[in-house]
Chain A
Amino acid sequence: MDFTLTDEQKMFRDTVYRYGKEEIAPLCEESDLKGEFSFEIWKKLADMGLLGLPLPEELGGSGADVVTCCLAGEALGHAGVDGGSLLAWGAHTYLCASNIFSFGTEEQKKEYIPRLASGEWIGCMGLTEPGSGSDAASMRTTAVKKGDKYILNGSKTFITNAPVADVIVVFATVDRAKKHKGITAFIVKKGTPGFSTGQPFHKMGCKCSTTSEVFFEDCEVPEENLLGGEGDGWMIALSGVEWDRSTLISPFVGASIYGLDLCAKYANDRYQFNRPIREFQGVQRRIADMKVFIEAARLAVYRVATSKDNGQMLNPLQAAVSKVYAGDVGFEMSSEAVQIFGGYGFMHEYPVERNFRDAKLASIGGGTSDIMRMIVSRIMLMQ
């Protein structure tokens, strides 16, 4: 047992935190109010080498381990970078680029990874459909082999980055009767005939990421764009779970640290009845609960990351614990932060308001809390 970070990891976290606070966080409020993806923020993330963080250096990445990736997400959230920008970063880096790196051919890696790592291209991943969320194996998007091409038909929804993406890793079935065994992954480039994206959705939170539907109408994808083999899609999608339960959660934990810092400052400065509100136990309770949440959630998130770094198989119980706890209780804590700020917390000008809207996504995206409980209870009942 050893819970220490290496000096390199600590230094990296500090650097990213300072950079996020000085360079990125000041841009977030405006972008959030507009509800728009910010290319300026994207550029900043790229300049710091964050867009290719886990990818190897020879392909333009930074070669970071999973713990370091989590530290970056946590540091940026802590610095006050909004959930949407970090979601855009996460979807691009972990769901698109990492999948291409892990399952792609040498040619695919060479073509996509350097451009994704530099941020020149923006990536996204398409799994969810209007009719299939948690039950992804029932997807309807089809891929039919025709000569040296696959013809894709169907639509995807809630695709983070889709309106701005240059590359999508998309899942389609080559045979619906085979259910999950028929699911196959493809890399599709923007501009491919038959590929189009819908209007950006208006979202409740994580507004600096842009999200839309994706349509495939007799979209011809060359067979060299197959990611992995036919029928490998399900395994590829599941491999994303490790990222979902660690690196993609870490920004939310970081946002909770940011929320706690804001609340602690406010509780010291805000006076009512001739004393700072920190003296009221009702306020203290919320502060303490936030701190406990942060410690527990960090342990859960970094456990998933550490086991991936150590080459261990994903423990689905541990992964689910990380997701369900950080998601559900993180949202509760973001609500308590608004409560400490009272009326001010209800105003856009105060970041706890944005945190509250952003936090809700953690219990929905990448497997809802209900699905996490289903996974845990099924395993328990099997043992």
Chain B
Amino acid sequence: MAGTAMTYSMVDYADVQGLVRFGYGRMTSASYALVRVKNVAAAKAWLRAAPVTNAVEKSPPPTTALQIAFTAPGLTNLGLPKSVMEGFSREFRTGMSKKFRARLLGDVGRNARKHWDWSGPGSEAHLLVMFFAEHEHFDSFVQSTKGNTWSDAFEEVIWLDTSDLDGDEPFGFADGISQPQIDWEQQLERPHTQLEYTNIAALGEFLLGYRNEYGKFTDRPLLDPDPANAELLPAVDAPAKKDLGRNGTYLVMRQLKQDVREFWKFLYEQADGNLAEANQLGAKMVGRTRAGDPLVPIQAESIPGTEPRTVKQNQFTYEADPAGARCPFGAHIRRANPRNSDFPERRIGALRKLIIILGFGPKGFYDDLTSSVRFHRILRRGREYGSELSPEQALQPPPAEELPRGLHFICLNANISRQFEFLQNAWIASTKFAGLTGESDPVLGNRKPIPGCPVTGNFKMPNDGTLPRRVSGLPQFVIVKGGAYFFLPSLRALRYFAGA
């Protein structure tokens, strides 16, 4: 198990794409180009010359960054042999758009792939090229990076622009406050059972080639050494093999269109026209106020892995709110990160532990219903698009032509099925999360009926000592407009893909 005979291997930051370590927040301009390979030789030549940014901390910090990720069809198009492709995870290889996967992720009804703006049938992207820069450098950076060969090499599927809403997402709530802290140094000894919530995640949860929360290595392509892959690092767990996955990870991208007007209109109506109350209801749905403050008090006891600057908004768990009276069970951030540990009780002896394991522990209805979060963390790296619209503006009649707004959701994880897909399926989209029924994520839910449950658009807010407050008829506020699974390779792997 974890903790015994660990093999540590320091991370070579120069081999990791910077996005794993940094969000590039100072670079307020960003665009994502989704492209298809038009000419393999030209594409490889462009990739060889591409100034991809690594994760080394620089001073002064860079003003531009370039990151590149590939879909499975993209790698196949570049000529990666089938035998190598087979080493990648099934989710990545078979893609987001499989019918069963669409059902799993809630991509049905208005979210269905046939309505997508990109990555619909026949227009799958091959590469995701991400440009980041400080505002004044952006256009010149994009131009110089594309160079002369870009249009020979690639055919653009879509060019996704982003906007800087100053840390808020389009509904007007502060976003990206909580992120797991990666155990880069691999100092953490993982106990078999983790009794305390921790914000520190094993490196292997976010980077292939290292131990994950189970103390194991996630599958990735391991190659027999040959001249073409000589530059690749060896596998830590199989030193005779070359590790194509090492220092790379999977990137999940979803374009989430947000109906800001519908959101605020609904809240405003529920609050009988009182904007302060509408804000309160919105906060209950999100689990934070618009400023980003959690609905449960910040605790005195520190939580490992909480950055000092975010203590005021992140040093909390739901232990003191077991009934959801402050932050409803169904609130978006409580679904997305229940902040629990492997066990329903902490500071317990071996006997109590055994009693709980055998099923003679807590008997309350809401006790111990949620899986341990440490196996289901993601690193969010998304950006907003569209212009800002305040709640007051949102309540005004819309202009004749309105441009869409939303989130280009991006997350990184080493195991798509256990991390992103589990989270999206069992926690966000599930109408049965944590003992609830008839409601999915109040912000993200698709409100589609499921067999036996015609209503999934409720939202309940438990109250101490009285009936929960119930809101029903939540419309769909967020619509999926595109999405794909990518592999974000290490720089060595990138050079291997781009090899002649």
A and B pair up: no
Taking Cβ atoms with an 8 Å cutoff, the residues of A that contact B are none
Taking Cβ atoms with an 8 Å cutoff, the residues of B that contact A are none
